Structure 1
């Protein structure tokens, strides 16, 4: 275990102040009561015992049921029994559940904000990003879901004689494997469109953040979702994850690229679909004409929200040489002023890493970079005086290959700075990674920013924002290119992926073959002429 008193750059002074704890703030024991745990864990299919912990102190939060492979099979059996009745429920009735959930979530957000903070260690403002994202998704699919699923008429093989309808049938039971870093948004946020499409769902949240996901399930049931439609199992990923894939009709996975490949292989072997949101090494480009103050403030949000434990957060910062010094001066000053804290209240600018493994990765990346010549402009030290897994938001200058931080996903509060003089070179360097999840471009010229965005090989690109603009625009698809994943969440793709397209074609009056005494040859001449006419009429 690394000695946290001497990590990274001891020559650089610690400047990030602890945030003061407001009076009257509740403690973990006041939030995670035995009564709450008993209420929430009723939704878990499990016969064993496990526990989760809070990163703020490392202490145990709650004892939880642990699932076995047989428990997973039981959960799928229950969900499969309940799914046909739910699928037969009108789409607008299903959508109304999402709208009621939206209202309940906003009315009771303080409850889940406490849980998110305790389970992830993030600052309350960053926890609220999850509430915002889920409320937006619930509103969108609650309003637009029925129209996405509505039967669609298409032109048939023979216009007027062939009536074609495209239907959207639910896949059945979706298996969802949700990560720890955004336990509300990446659990129920992805589950909502699956439910609205008429599916049942078996979720495996990360054990360390299970209470948040279970709270969301409880609220969905209160909003009108049949409890049997939403099953939850808990357990080690290598044990329970493959069982989810083995029983599901479709898999939704968010996590590392390495594990995503394993999920994809398991799904492919069964010929079922999968959506995978995986890793990122996201780039932010600050052009010569950028508003420096806004770009510096935006970089703080883009790099250090949720302590950088965000798939779409920025880890590579490309700055035009002409503005690099002034930008980095402003960015570093803002970073050093960030307040770190553990209080279940607003006021801290950044919280904790989730655990020892994340801290070890951050320490390894920073220490190796410094040893090979990188310069620390801010941060670079752990803060065990605040909590066991706290690490200061860190800016590294002079990063070069083969430093690990140059190409590997850190998934922590660390950003590497690279200067450029040619925009084409900056775009090429931003595209040089195996990942392609999110990117950010800063310029006063919106048209120029959009043009550069179109050249970046990334599933989402934000102009003059880090990640929230694209992610919060839920009518548009969100997902990764290259090794950052397959499929999309949000928009029509975010709900239609949970359906099977079915074409129903009704032939009227005459068959699709010789009729009215035609010979085969006469029929082929007639159809050839008809095809020419249909092209001339611009039929599609």
Structure 2
């Protein structure tokens, strides 16, 4: 069989900056088998030892911050500042996990209810091998915390990063391989939905997926065949609601930020706003004011002058255009913003 590769392409510039071999179905099965064999070793380690190893990984993330933000900048087009936010929220989540794990995983006595002369105990046990399927919009923070939480609980992990941001997936793999005590217990597989399907077919003991609603449906349908438990976090259609007593300037400022941070590519981004009629004109004026302050563009410098970068996934450009055409055909008006060039948009208010 011919070897296939995924190219790394900067969405802001169109420049290709690397590639990775696509994992075959046979290699996915091999990764799953390796993690099954490794599970008894990792799960038998005391929690304190697992925490110590993950703390080493946390320190590595801090040490490698320049490389990490550089890869996120090239892979997603987001600014180095936004990449740093993604990194340090990830670092903070690791602190939260490690600090709370002894409490979360502690064996607990509970009431036995109507069963007299019996003891009720809650004991948390790892599933086994956890498959983590991660998205492209935040390829670090939506991949590493679920991987590390699963490890902390005693599971081994197979991670499939998004094919859209494959360079970040390779970076994660390299970082994990930099910690010898962690390397035997995590595998990273690379590719598109076919690789994700192969991962589900390999029958992990638990699946954690973050992505679109269509992706979530496919994973749920495939997992149901084998009764594999699944945790899914999908996209939303989130609203801001502005009432009479609201601070209109603050609502507008943070509503705009919530809509356009990361070029709007967030599962919790503001996509619609409901405003009481008496405050509508004032709110709209402030929204337009703050929206016009948002500048789209790309820079590799540590201090980027731009508020938002490009659309990361080319398929999303078609989604945006379809939404706009539909809205305009139904009487909507574009008040500011629009397509700038290639993968860039200036923030749009309709």
TM-score grouping bracket, smaller chain normalisation = over 0.9
Trace 1:124-135 onto structure 2 (pairs within 5 A): 124-135=80-91
More moved, 290-299 vs 118-127 = 118-127
Structure 1 residue 134: Cα displacement: 0.8
Contact 1:188 1:213 in 2 (8 A): no
* 1:369 is the counterpart of 2:324: no
In structure 2, do the counterparts of structure 1 residues 222 and 143 end up closer, same or farther at CA, with 3 Å as the change threshold? farther
> Alpha-carbon deviations, 1:120-164, whole Å to 9, x = none?
122333323311321121001111112211211234478894344
Aligned to 1:162, what secondary structure does the other structure show?
coil
CA distance in 2, matches of 1:323, 1:333: 16
Give the deviation of 1:241 after TM superposition: 1.5
8 A contact 1:255–1:277 mirrored in 2? yes
Q: Is residue 395 from structure 1 mapped to residue 342 from structure 2 by the alignment?
A: no
Aligned partner (choices 116, 132, 137) of residue 181 of structure 1: 137
CA contact (8 A) 1:174 1:200 kept: yes
Distance 2:152 2:226 in 1: 25
Structure 1, 92-101 or 323-332: larger mean CA deviation: 92-101
Shift of 1:106: 2.7
Question: Residues 250 and 331 of structure 1: is their aligned pair in 2 closer, same or farther, counting only changes over 3 Å?
Answer: same
2 CA distance for matches of 1:260 and 1:159? 40
- Tell whether 2:31 aligns with 1:75: yes
- CA RMSD across the alignment: 2.0
Paired residue for 1:242? 197
Task: Give distance in 2, aligned partners of 1:363 and 1:348.
Answer: 23
What's the CA shift string for 1:203-256, capped at 9, x where partnerless? Answer: 11112312223323433444564212110111221x111211122111111111
Question: How far apart are residue 377 of structure 1 and its match?
Answer: 1.7
Q: Structure 2 length as normaliser, TM-score?
A: 0.93
Matches of 2:115 and 2:237, distance apart in 1? 50
Question: What is the Cα deviation at residue 47 of structure 1?
Answer: 5.5
Structure 2 partner of 1:149: 105
* Matching of residues 301-316 of structure 1 within 5 Å: 301-316=257-272
Instruction: Tell me the residue number matched to 2:251.
Output: 295
Offset, 1:334: 1.4
Matches within 5 A, 1:453-464: none
Q: What's the counterpart of residue 359 of structure 1?
A: 317
Which residue, 199, 206, 225 being the options, matches 2:155?
199
The two structures have a TM-score, normalised by structure 1, of 0.61
Structure 2: state its 5+ residue gaps: none
Q: Which runs of 5+ in 1 are unaligned?
A: 1-45, 397-540
